Amino acid sequence: MVTQHAVVIAGGGPTGLMLAAELALARVEVAIVERRASQELVGSRSRGLHARSLEVLAQRGVVERFTSQGQAVQNVAFGQTLLDLSDFPTRHNHGLALMQERFERILADWVGELAVPLYRGCEVTAFTQDDTGVEVVLSDGRGLRAQYLVGCDGGRSLVRKSAGIDFPGWDASISYLIAEVEMTEAPAFGIRRDEKGTYAMGKLEDGRVGVVLREEQVGTGDAPTLEGLRAGLIALYGTDYGLRGATHVSRFTDMTRQAASYRDRRVLLAGDAAHVHSPMGGQGLNLGVQDAVNLGWKLAQVVRGVSPESLLDTYQAERHPVAARALRKTMAQTALSRGDARMEAVRETLAELLRMDEPRKQYAAMMSGLDVHYDLGTGHPLLGRRMPDLDLVTAEGPRRVFHLLHDARPVLLDLGERGALDITPWEDRVRRVAARYQGTWELPVLGAVAAPVAVLIRPDGHVAWVGEGTDQGLHEALARWFGAPRVA
């Protein structure tokens, strides 16, 4: 017997979970297929969130669940140069130190509250698609049918490969062993660098030591071992510091690839399935979460028949350039991690530049995701950018802008004469909020911008239209993003 779902997501990591939450909030019946029997995650992965990811979670009203379990930190860096966000115009002018395992568990709890079914302990092994949907085969023999299948199944994505989507890019030039170990001797904590790359040791909980070692040769597909780790320690440090065991050993490389297309008809890709790169700069998890928030409301509207299928084309148009830029910046940082004299001179020069105010702001905004600007046309600087979380006065009392986005619906924020903007043909889809705001409109890097009379905010928090005294272009923007007007 085949079980029906509107959307099936392959992969229950950060991207898959976030996408499931977005679809559930939009009242779309979605299910996740996850090979792990539980949400337990072994070993070191992402260690934190950047500012824009925190804003995204605040838009959904759940950010406190995460901030209460982590620590606010200035975690944005480029080429080992820390970039301070504390003067940025956002409530989250910092990152969050939070291990990926904890992040996933909190996210999974939220998805559970939204009643999203999970097929655990199995994975997608095959699928076929036709004009009306996708037949999905699971490793335990069960079958699912969905209108759409989304591959959030990592860099080796079976969904991407089976869809025949090319994955061009660059092979690995360096590989690293990363481990959580026990040692009997005092480790050499800190970061070191040689002509080939960087290696480091850091203190973990329970007396364990986190180790990152560059390998002499680019790692093969063989699973890394404790003995290989021991040999690496001796080669780089001259001793293994009494290495007696490891709770986790894995390998990562600077392989950099991006899917040529994020969509093949009814199959889509997000997160690592769409782009892989070095972990330099901590971009991976954050890119995936933001992919999900961009895709979720669009896919929901197509599934519900509100918007035509062509709306899905804007997912790649908007997110592919963001990831392409991130990939190039991680490649640059991998080069900067090498320690020969020439690269040391480059690194010192770059550090001098990034200590200047404007370069710091440019790169901090880029690395934190606060500068993402979708090309939605010309006009007001807000158009295509994230909406600031302003303190508003409404008929229901004080409200923050992000409070208005908790249910993942679009919002027309009317700051002019009450009733001047008519959105009756879209009132079943778009929430209109009359409000007042006293204060400066300020964006990261750009600074203060002219105060608009109204803004149309997409569910992902990006501005789709700006009113500067008239309603010119409003109905066109409503139709473009939220479907044809309803006929009375």
274 and 246 both lie in a single domain: no
pLDDT tens digit string along 147-176? 999 999 999 999 999 999 999 999 998 888
Q: What angle do CA 473, 476, 482 make, to 5 degrees?
A: 130
Encode 426-459: b = buried (16+ Cβ within 10 Å), e = exposed. beebbbbbbbebeeebebbebeebeebbbbbbbb
222 and 143 both lie in a single domain: no
141 and 205 both lie in a single domain: no
Tell me if 289 sits within 8 A of 14, measured CB to CB. yes
Domain of 442 in residue numbering reads as 391-482
- Predicted confidence at residue 28, as pLDDT, reads 98
Tell me if 400 sits within 8 A of 452, measured CB to CB. no
Tell me if 415 sits within 8 A of 437, measured CB to CB. yes
CA distance 297 to 312: 10
Tell whether 386 is covered by a domain: no
40 and 124 both lie in a single domain: yes
Sheet strand arrangement including 95-97: 48-49, 95-97, 71-73
Q: What is the bridge-based pairing of β-strands 431-436 and 411-414?
A: parallel
**Residue type, position 147, single letter:** Q
- Predicted confidence at residue 217, as pLDDT, reads 83
Domain boundary among 193, 218, 253: 253
- The three-class DSSP label of residue 210 is strand
- What letter does residue 487 receive in the DSSP assignment? P
DSSP assignment of 136-200, as one string?
EEETTS-EEEEEEEEE-S-TT-HHHHHHT----EE--S-EEEEEEEEESS----EEEE-SS-EEE
**CATH number of the structural domain spanning residue 416:** 3.40.30.120
Q: Tell me the torsion sign for CA atoms 289, 291, 294, 297.
A: negative
pLDDT tens digit string along 219-235? 767 788 899 899 999 99
Tell me if 245 sits within 8 A of 184, measured CB to CB. no
110 and 15 both lie in a single domain: yes
From first to last of its 488 residues, the chain has per-residue pLDDT tens of 789 999 999 999 999 999 999 999 999 999 999 999 887 765 556 778 999 999 999 999 999 999 999 999 998 999 889 999 999 999 999 999 998 889 999 999 999 999 999 999 999 999 999 999 999 999 999 999 999 999 999 999 999 999 999 999 999 988 888 888 999 999 999 888 888 888 899 888 778 898 999 888 887 677 888 998 999 999 999 999 999 988 888 888 889 999 999 999 999 999 999 999 988 888 889 999 999 999 999 999 999 999 999 999 999 999 999 999 999 999 999 888 887 888 889 989 999 999 999 999 999 999 999 999 999 999 999 999 999 999 999 999 999 999 999 999 999 999 987 667 889 999 999 999 999 999 999 999 999 999 999 999 999 999 999 998 889 999 999 999 999 998 76
Sequence-distant (≥ 6) Cβ neighbours of residue 256 within 8 angstroms: 169, 170, 276, 277, 278, 327, 330, 331
Structural domain count, the chain:
3
- Predicted confidence at residue 326, as pLDDT, reads 95
Domain boundary among 301, 336, 368: 368
8 and 156 both lie in a single domain: yes
- Predicted confidence at residue 418, as pLDDT, reads 64
Tell me if 283 sits within 8 A of 263, measured CB to CB. no
**Residue type, position 430, single letter:** V
121 and 14 both lie in a single domain: yes
Tell whether 315 is covered by a domain: yes
Tell whether 487 is covered by a domain: no
User: What kind and span of H or E run contains 433?
Assistant: strand 431-436
**Residue type, position 133, single letter:** G
Domain boundary among 253, 278, 295: 253
**CATH number of the structural domain spanning residue 221:** 3.30.70.2450
CA distance 349 to 353: 6
- What letter does residue 434 receive in the DSSP assignment? E
* Closest of 366, 365, 371, 388 to residue 466, by C-alpha: 388
Encode 309-335: b = buried (16+ Cβ within 10 Å), e = exposed. eebbebbbebbbebbeebbebbbbbbb
Tell whether 438 is covered by a domain: yes
Tell whether 384 is covered by a domain: no
Tell whether 378 is covered by a domain: no
CA distance 78 to 100: 21
17 and 118 both lie in a single domain: yes
Tell whether 381 is covered by a domain: no
351 and 431 both lie in a single domain: no
354 and 271 both lie in a single domain: yes
359 and 342 both lie in a single domain: yes
Tell whether 151 is covered by a domain: yes
CA 52 from centroid of its chain's CA atoms: 9
267 and 203 both lie in a single domain: no
User: What kind and span of H or E run contains 298?
Assistant: helix 284-303
